[in-house]
Each structure stands twice: as C-alpha cells, then as structure tokens.
Structure 1
Amino acid sequence: MSYIKRIIYLLFGTSLLSVGIVMTMQANLGYAPWDVFHRGISDTIGMSIGNVSIVASIIICVIVVLLGEKLGFGTLVNIFVIGIFMDLLLSFEIIPEMQSFVSGLIMLIVGLFVCAYSSYLYIASGFGAGPRDSLMVALERLTKLSVGMCRGTIEVLVCLIGWILGGPVGIGTIISAFGIGICVQIIFSWVKFDATSVKHETLNETIKNFRAYFKRTIKEDV
C-alpha cells in the first residue's frame, strides 16, 4: 500500500469511526462502555464528550508509555480527530436521536458496522493502535492475562464508573459490548483482511519513513 493511501486510510478511518460512535450514541438505547464513561465525566464536570475523550486518551497514552508501550502516529491522530469530530457531529445534530426502540436498534447496528469498517481502515494503515487498544495490550503483557480478559475488565470498570457518574446504560450498552466483535469479524471477512499481517509503525519509524518519502518525491520532481 502506498504511503499516501495509508494516510487516507488513517484519516478517513478515524473520521468514520467518530460517525459510527455518534450513531451508537444517538440510537438512544444506552452508550457503549467507553462512551458511558466519557458521558458520565462530561455531565459531571461540564466538558463536552469529545473533549473528555481527548483528555482521557492523553492520560491513557501516558499510562501506556509508562508501561513500556510505544505510540504511533495513528495513536495521536486517533486522540484528536475522533474527539473533535464527535463534538462537531453532536453540536450540529447531523445524526438525529432515535425516538423508538426499532429505529434505535437499526441505528445501533448500523453504527457498529460503521465502527467495524472504520477499524479495518485504521488498522490497515499500519500507523499504530489507538490509545485504548494500546492500554489493553500493555495490561496483557503486564498481567499475563488473556487479551479478552483484559479488554473485558477494562470495559466493565469504565462502564461502572460512567454509570455511577450518570452515564446512560441500557440494552444498547450490552449489544455494543458484545456486538462490536461480531461486526468486526464480519467486516474483516468481507474485505478479506488479516489484522495480524499488519506491521504497525512507531512514531519514530513514521517520521523516518515520511522523511524518506519526502526526499524521494523531491528527487522525482527534479
């Protein structure tokens, strides 16, 4: 995959992911675990949910680095693009809030598939994992527990904290928690994508590769 195509995959994937997240929120059936956490804090301190997501992601990145994981360019893009786009989508009410169970369920399922497809684009770009996935990997290495156990523990914990702070928990929370894995599997099979085949670059590697690409482009133009 060309360098420019990878950048497009990264930027479009992260932007699309924010659309999928907001769709699951506007389904009005209960937020996904991390979004319950973000909304709970948002309502408590009066900060927008997008900004809460950005601040939480930065804190997670600090923890991940302290635990020995390396960040990628995609990790940084993930932090800011998703949070900013979420706030824009919600502020301008581009995606309407559903008012019935059936319409909400349809919105939720479509939103999960949008999240799954955007995850494919993001992962395929090879610019590094998102903050929350990096935390999951770091805890897996630290505790020696399975990746599924680490992910489940994290999501239950943040969902509980968010719920205590007033975050919306409902049937949609359960569907999101268990359904996203199924949607990812369906999408990855559809596009014939093997996530384990992708070698993710660290931030330093991306800087070096970008410099090499830039120099090569200049020589070709000359």
Structure 2
Amino acid sequence: MTRTPLAHLTPLEQLRAPRLPRRLVQLTLGLVLYGFSMGMMIEASLGLDPWDVLHAGLAEQTGLSFGTIVIVVGFGVLLLWIPLRQMPGLGTVANAIVIGVVSDISLALITPPDALTLRLAMLLSGVVLNGLAGALYIGSQLGPGPRDGLMTGLVRRTGLSVRLVRTSLEVIVLAVGWLLGGAVGLGTVVYALAIGPLVHTMLPWCTVDVGAEEPVLDPEVDRPIAS
C-alpha cells in the first residue's frame, strides 16, 4: 500500500497542518491506550520494556508512583533536547503527562492474574495494544514523545544510525533500571522483538496525511522506543 509520509514539522507547523481535530483525537486516544498497555504489561509481572524497567526501578527506589516517575523522567528527558536543538510539540508535552497519569489509573483498575497463562495473555495483549497506541500517536503528526525525540535528535546531531542510537539508549536505560530493581524478564524480550514489526505494520493505517511530499522517517526503524 502507499505509505503516507511522516513529516518533519515545526511545532507551529504541526498545529497549522490539515485535519487538526482528527489528529488531536487520535493523539489523545493513542496516549491513553499507551498508558493502559503499560499497566497491562506491569501487572502481567513477566518483565517490562527497557524504559519501563527504568521507571519501575526508580519507583522502587523513591517510593513515588510509577506514573509519577514516567512524568518526571519524561520532562527530564526533555531537558536533554535543549543541546540537541529539538523543539517539543503539543504531542510531546501531552505524551510526557498523559501516559504517566493513565498508567497509574490502569494500575489501580487492573487486577493482576495469578495463572501463568492469563499473565502471558495479558503481556501479549499489552504489547500488541502498545504497538497500536504508538502507531496512533506517531501517526497524528503532532510531535514525538520525549524519548523518541531524544533518539531522533541524537541521530541528527551525531550522524549515527537510528538502530545504533536506539539500541544504545535502550541498553543503557535497561541496565540502569535493572540495577535499581526494575523487572527484566520474558516481557522485555517479547517487547524488544515485537514492537518494531507491530508499529511498522500498523503505522501506514494510522498516519494522517498532512501534505508532506517526502517521508523523513522510516517506520520500520523509527518506531517508538517507549512512552
């Protein structure tokens, strides 16, 4: 199928681009589903994606809620955008807040299952939902999440490949999170293997056409590295 390009727009251009009401609804839905999927993966208790290993480790050490840590880390990462000369969009700020709030709500609502088969089902469902959520918020073309923007900013500033920068970031946060007590396990491996292909498959159906002539990101490699 013909792929709608992901455009490289300034924050103001993102708001002026066509189909803003539809894109705002899609952004909100994507962020809410993303936060809920994080809660599902946490309650499955089978291991988390690299950034959530870090979030869980920090929550363990500080006593703050998981969602609060997601928000704090999100805004902390945004500070790293300054030397990279990245400008956050509406979607960036919303990402930093909404996902953390919804993840705490989901943790309060979801009852963790006891049976291993149910935990596996919850984990797999959470990963698939996370892929859809990522495709929705990226496809709204209202700005990358803080962690996504850090990755793409480093790629642009260093000239290194997306795969190298993304992998390096994920290894670092995974190692730090594990040392802090974050949960590493089967879910970590499943997420690492599945999230790229999932977003790559779903993104063409979720990307809103804003009139860009050429794609600037390859969905297969520039998938969301996390919230």
Give the TM-score taking structure 2 as reference length. Answer: 0.80
Q: Which amino acid in 1 is paired with 2:148?
A: D
> Residues of 2 paired with 1:98 and 1:154: CA distance?
32
Q: Quick one: which of 78, 81, 94 aligns to 1:61?
A: 78
Question: Cα–Cα, structure 1 residues 188 and 127, in superposed 2: closer, same or farther, change >3 Å?
Answer: closer
Per the alignment, in what secondary structure is the counterpart of residue 71 of structure 1? coil
1:25 CA displacement = 1.4
Equivalent residue runs for 1:114-129 within 5 Å: 114-129=129-144
| Whole-angstrom distance in 2 between the partners of 1:158 and 1:73 | 25
Determine if the alignment matches structure 1 residue 35 to structure 2 residue 55: no
Q: Which has the higher helix share?
A: 1
For 1:81, the aligned partner's letter is: V
User: Which residue of the other structure, out of 95, 99, 102, is the alignment partner of 2:114?
Assistant: 99
Partner letter of residue 61 of structure 1? L
Residue 44 of structure 1 aligns to which amino acid in structure 2? Q
8 Å CA contact retained: 1:28, 1:98: no
Does residue 156 of structure 1 match 2:171? Answer: yes
The one-letter code matched in structure 2 to 1:157 is I
Instruction: Give distance in 2, aligned partners of 1:133 and 1:40.
Output: 20
Distance apart, 1:187 and its partner CA? 2.2
RMSD (Å), alpha carbons: 2.1
**Runs of 5+ consecutive residues of structure 1 not aligned to the other structure:** 200-222
Q: Give the structure-1-normalised TM-score.
A: 0.81
Give the direction of change, closer, same or farther, for the CA distance of 1:164–1:193 in structure 2 (3 Å limit): same
Distance 2:124 2:210 in 1: 26
The amino acid that maps onto 1:88 is: I
In the alignment of these two chains, the number of paired residues is 196
Taking the aligned partners of 1:110 and 1:139, their CA distance within structure 2 comes to 31
SS of alignment partner, residue 157 of structure 1: helix
Give the secondary structure class of the aligned counterpart of 1:122: helix
C-alpha spacing 1:12/1:73, structure 2 compared with 1 (3 Å): same
In the TM superposition, residue 158 of structure 1 has moved relative to its aligned partner by 0.5
Summarize the Cα distance change of 1:73–1:166 in structure 2 as closer, same or farther, 3 Å threshold. Answer: same
Does residue 81 of the first structure (1) align with residue 98 of the second (2)?
Answer: yes
CA shift, 1:70, in A, is: 1.3
CA change 1:102–1:125 in 2 (3 A) is same
- Which stretch of structure 1 is more off in the superposition, 163-172 or 105-114? 105-114
Match of 1:169 among 184, 187, 190: 184
* Equivalent residue in structure 1 for 2:64, among 47, 58, 63: 47
The offset of 1:85, in angstroms, is: 0.9
Question: Which has the larger Rg?
Answer: 1
Q: CA deviation at 1:197?
A: 7.7
Measure how far apart 1:43 and its partner are: 0.7
Write the letter of the residue equivalent to 1:17.
Y
Deviation at 1:194, TM superposition (A): 8.6
Q: 1:25 to 1:197 in 2, by over 3 A?
A: farther
Instruction: Determine whether 1:180 maps to 2:209.
Output: no
Q: Which residue of 2 aligns with 1:219?
A: none
Tell me, in whole angstroms, the C-alpha distance in 1 between the residues paired with 2:35 and 2:151. 20
Q: 1:13 to 1:155 in 2, by over 3 A?
A: same
**Of the candidates 7, 14, 19, which is equivalent to residue 2 of structure 1?**
19
- Give the aligned residue type for 2:154: L
Percent identical residues: 35
Distance 1:152 1:2 in 2: 34
> Which amino acid in the other structure matches residue 40 of structure 1?
G
